[in-house]
Each structure stands twice: as structure tokens, then as C-alpha cells.
Amino acid sequence: MPANVTSYINGKSNWKKELETIRAILLKLPLDEDIKWGIPAYIYKGKNILGFAAFKNYCGIWFHNGVFLKDEANLLVNAQEDKTKAMRQMRFYNSNEIQPEIIKTYILEAISNSEAGKEIKPKRNTKPLAVPTILASAFSSDKILAEKFNSFTIAKKREFCEHILSAKKETTKQNRLDKIKPLILNGIGLYDKYKKINLINYNLLYS
């Protein structure tokens, strides 16, 4: 995890010039700079507006609610048409493609949209938690395991349960239960180790 934006940019030698150019544009705007998900993030009045990052073949800007942008220059792409609803990317393959005034226009529109409350909020899963029988039995014989499980958020509880329920064979369910017990007892979510590598997750989802 980079300590700050400067550290992030210095670690991306192949795209350092482009990232510095993008950052220079952002620093002139009313945005707060931070590191989130392992990449530079820019916030306006507590709302995430955009971030930028560098990958192997390109660098780019991510607008969190880019779906609301007019995109008059036709620069935005949706990385996953069937999954990504709000976020849109602006990709650059060389420094000549970075046009400060156009980028500034998009960002100011994004800020205006945020002020207007335009955003797509993720839908919450309101279905009752379905605890697998095998997991419920484990709770009955191990009260500490049950207490630790109950200390998790509903989302993390659901991840554990669905992980077991998705197995077709009883032997597989038992194997999965044996593997998640230490996680539960140590207060570690099923996917926490992946979530900590935030930039990698970000790449997988949006590259």
C-alpha cells in the first residue's frame, strides 16, 4: 500500500509522466486527495468522485458515478457492460491523449453531479441469512465459534454461509467448514485477505 499519492506515482515508472500530468490537473480543482483501494482517490465533500491508476498497457481515471456524465468527447468506457453500472473509465495509452481542459470539464461535471445527488447506490441484500445445517451444528457444539460468527457484519456472515451452501457434496461442505473455522475464530472475513490487496482487486474488476 503506498503511503501517499507521490509514493504511488513513483512506483509506476512506466507511467510516471502521465500520472503526474493527471495529478497536476486534479490538484487545481476543489478535491481532497487520499489513497483508497490502494490507488489515488479524489473526494469532494466526503463523496468519492474519481481515482486514477496505471496498469500494464494504459493509465486512466475512474469516475465513480461516471454513468451520469454527458461524455461529449466520447472518452468513457464501461469495463464490464454486464456488471458495472455506475463507474466509467477514461483510458490513456500515451501522454498525448491527456487533454487537461477536456479532463477538467469532465471532472467539474462529476463534481456538479455529486452536488446534485446523482449516484447509483449498491442494492442491499435484504434476504434472510440462510445458515447451512452443517454450520449451525458446529455452532451448537462450539459456543465461541458461534459468538465470533455473530460478531461479523451481515455481509460477511452471508459470505461464509454462501461459501458452504454453494458446495454440492457433503464432503466438500465439510472441507469448507474446516477451512473457515480458523478464519471465524480469528475474526477474519472469508475474503479479507483479498480485500487487503486492494489494487489487485481493483485491477481485476475494472481493467
- Answering whether pTM is above 0.75, one says no
The pLDDT of residue 21 is above 60 = yes
pLDDT tens digits, one per residue of 93-122: 999 999 999 999 999 999 999 999 998 876
156: which residues sit within 8 A by CB, 6+ positions away?
189, 190
Q: What is the dihedral of CA 83, 84, 85, 90, to 10 degrees?
A: -150
Where do you find CATH 3.90.1150.200 in the chain? 5-122
Q: Coil, strand, or helix at residue 47?
A: strand
pLDDT tens digits, one per residue of 160-174: 999 999 999 999 999
Note the Cα 109 to chain centre separation in Å: 22
The pLDDT of residue 41 is above 80 = yes
Task: Please report the pLDDT score of residue 80 as a whole number.
Answer: 76
Question: Do residues 61 and 21 lie in contact, with contact meaning Cβ atoms separated by under 8 Å?
Answer: no
The 8-class DSSP code of residue 93 comes to S
pLDDT tens digits, one per residue of 63-90: 999 999 999 999 999 977 767 789 999 9
Domain 5-122 has CATH 3.30.420.40: no
